[in-house]
Each structure stands twice: as C-alpha cells, then as structure tokens.
Amino acid sequence: MSSAGLSDSLDSDTLERDREEDLFVHRSHFPALGVENRTYFNYGGQGVMCGVALDAINQNFRHIESLGCFSNAAGDWMVSEYNATKTAIAKEFQVSPTTITLTENTTVGCNIALWAVDWKQGDRLLLSDCEHPGIIAAAVQIQKRFGIEIDYFPLTNTRNASADGNDSETVVELLVQHLQPQTRMVMLSHICWNTGQVLPLKAIAKACHDQNVLVAVDAAQSVGVLPLNLADIAADFYAFTTHKWWCAPLGLGALYIRPEIFEVIEPVFVGWRGLTGKLPIPQWRQDGAKFEVASSTYALYESMRIAIAHANSWGTQLQRYQRICQLSKIVWEQLDALPHIDCIRQLPPESGLISFKVNQELIPSSSPSVIANKSHALIAKHLESEHQILIRALPDPDCLRASVHYLTSIADIERLISVFATIN
C-alpha cells in the first residue's frame, strides 16, 4: 500500500489534527525520532523523550545545586515538585492526588500491591497466564514466605476477545470460574504485554468485588494509551511506569490505590515519607504517601510533567488512542496479508501492541532473505543492526512485537512492512 493509500485509511472526521504534516512538526521535537533512517517500534519497552523534557533534567539538577543541596530552599522546591507531579498524574486519571503513590516503575507498584495484603497460609492469589515474569516471580516469593496458593486462569484462550464487545463477557466469566472462597486477590494486566489484548477491567473489578476479592493491575502498557478514569474502573491497585507510552524519563512510575482500602493494607517499603510525623512512631499516613519511602530523584519530576503536557498538546488522550488503534490496524492488516506472517491475535488491535510470528515453514528454502531461518530474537537484532528498525522479540509466545504509538508515522509503517514483504 502506498503512503497515500495508508494516509487515506486514517479517519479524518474523528482525528482532525491527525495528519502526517502535523505529525512531522510534532515529531521534530523528539531527537531520537530525528535519527536518519531509524524506525522506532519499541514504545512498549521504552518511549522516546522530547528535547524539552531532556533539557529539564540537566537544568533541575543544576537548580538544586544553585539553591544549595539539602538547604531549606531546595527542600521547599522538592516538595513543590512532588506535589505538582502527583497532581499532574491524578488529573490524567480523573482521581485525587492523595490516591497516587510515586514509585520508580511498574514492578515496584505491583510489588507494593502484592505485599501490602496481610496474607495467611491457605489464601489464594489468582493470576492470568499472560503476566510478566516479574509479577510471577513476586507471587512465588509470597507463596514461599506465607504459604499461599497461586492459581492461573487461561487468558490466552480468550486472546481474540474484544474489550467492549459481547465477547468481553467471556473473559470475565472465565476469571470468575477460577475464583475460590480463599482467593484474596486477582492480579492481571489491563493490556497484555505479550498479545496486546485489552481486558474489560471495569467489569472484572465489579465481579471480583462482588466476591470480596482485591484487584491489582499491571498497567505498564495501558497508561499513555487508553483514556482512563480510575475511579470509575474501581480497581484497587493500578501500577504503571511513565517511561513507556508517556515518553518520560526512566526511573519514574506511580501506583493508584483506591482510597477505600487504605486502612486495610500495610506499608511494604518503610520510610519517613509514609509517616504522619506524630508520636509515637509509626503513625501512617492514610493516602498514597503511606507506601513511599524517602528521597527520590526529584530532578526528573518536571521532565515527566513536560512529557505528559507535550502529548496533550497533540489532541486528547482519546484522540491519540484512536490514532494508535487506526495505525495499529493498518500494521496488523498489512502483516496479516503476508503469507509467511502469522499475527497472534486474529482481529484488529485495540492497543498499540501487535505481536506476530514469522512462519519459517512457508519461506522457500531457496529464499535469499537473511531473515529466513532465523529465530525471532535474531530477526530483531538483524532489523536493528542492518535496517535501524527497533522492534522487540518476546519469549512467550515466541514472536515479534511492534509497538505503535501516536508518534508513529506512515513512513515508519511502510519501512516495517517492506522488510517483511521481501522475506520471500
């Protein structure tokens, strides 16, 4: 399909500003996207930062030095940065800043959720079979320490279900079938990192709460993609990072905690930020700070706020999500049309993640392509070294994953498809 053909497939009625001309100007603020001949499809691993956000990091470290390290002035500045950052995050989710815990990444937030529960021997934790290894490892450690049981429900079997259609009920029903009287918590992803499936999270939360089961969410792939109202969704924990789809610096994440559960969960990492300052010690704050520890890299906070504001300067989150879905559909359709490519999901994506396999059995043995007969991990390395196409190989399922962002251009898509089209 030509550039004109791809462009025509974008719905200009719903995305009035989503035109390649506008995107070219917007992308020019991102140094990594200006590297000649580079094509970036790794937003699900790490986003690219705009120049203003990069500059703010250096400026803020210097600002702290100019105020005087550990001075009252520097302390006041850090408090203002802390408050402004919680406010900015909370605004994106339509919740109160008091519900936000600042962390370093998604995994820290998920660990807080998992370890904050007062587990007893015989309690049960339910996971999907699509969770990240970091989540599974944390669950196993809890099992070893407290003697809980870990159950898994086969979410993989529903990978072609939609998030909002009638078939979304099959996901909820499958999960409920695996709840047991001793189940204390369900932990799952809002968008599955390996398939791109979007789960009907609001319906899942309601079904779990009806049985007094907590819901913890790995939101690494959903924040910066989906329009979110966390109060309406009503998950108990919603852990995420800001360095992926929000294109903020590494080392910044957060956790939303539903305020109704603050009093029944315990701190995991303990430090002065979680204390009220009253005697006797400890007296815990009953907001998101209850789960924070101590000093953080405050110099990064403004950079994260700049990243969010920069994205918001190019339409609403809903508009950006619509563009992501439209571009993802194009990638999925073009890949699916190639005889030697098998897409993991058999319907147009509802997120920016498209996972697919190269079916080596359908590639002629006489094919001159250097990609032929290579593992997906080697294909990803080859694409980076020889074509400057950055894409990820996943272990389970064994496949490649392209991450499509609102920043993705039609030219990016053309380059990706042309490489795989020439395998034969």
- Counts of helices then strands in the chain (DSSP H, E): 13, 13
Which pLDDT value is given to residue 424? 62
What pLDDT is recorded for position 3?
Answer: 44
Q: What does DSSP assign to residue 400?
A: E
Direct distance between the N- and C-terminal alpha carbons of the chain, in angstroms, rounded to an integer: 17
Tokens of 416: 């990706």
Amino acid making up residue 115: W
Q: Which residues of 233-268 are buried (b: 16+ CB within 10 A; e: fewer)?
A: bbbbbbbbbbbbbbbbbeebbbbbbbeeebeebebb
What integer pLDDT is reported at residue 21 of this predicted model?
78
pLDDT given for residue 14 in this prediction? 44
DSSP β-bridge partners for residue 403 = 353
Question: Which residues of the chain, if any, have pLDDT below 50?
Answer: 1-4, 7, 10-18
Q: Contact, 384 vs 364, CB < 8 A?
A: no
Specify the pLDDT at position 166. 78
Cα–Cα dist 54/249, whole Å: 8
Tell me the C-alpha distance between 56 and 84, whole Å: 15
Question: How far is residue 231's CA from residue 259's CA, in Å, rounded to a whole number?
Answer: 9
Q: What does the alpha-carbon distance between residue 352 and residue 405 come to, in Å, rounded to a whole number? A: 6
The structure tokens listed for 352 are 């920016």
Q: Tell if the pTM clears 0.85, that is, is over it.
A: yes
Spatial contact of 331 and 402, defined as CB atoms under 8 Å apart:
yes
Q: Which structure tokens are listed for 379?
A: 């294909």
Backbone angles phi, psi at 275, to 5 degrees: -95, 155
CA 118 distance to own-chain centroid: 27
Q: What's the confidence (pLDDT) of residue 368?
A: 66
Structure tokens at 325: 């879905």
368 preceded by cis ω (within 30°)? no
What is the signed CA dihedral for 98, 100, 101, 103, rounded to 10 degrees? -150
Q: Is there a contact between 48 and 30 (Cβ–Cβ < 8 Å)?
A: yes
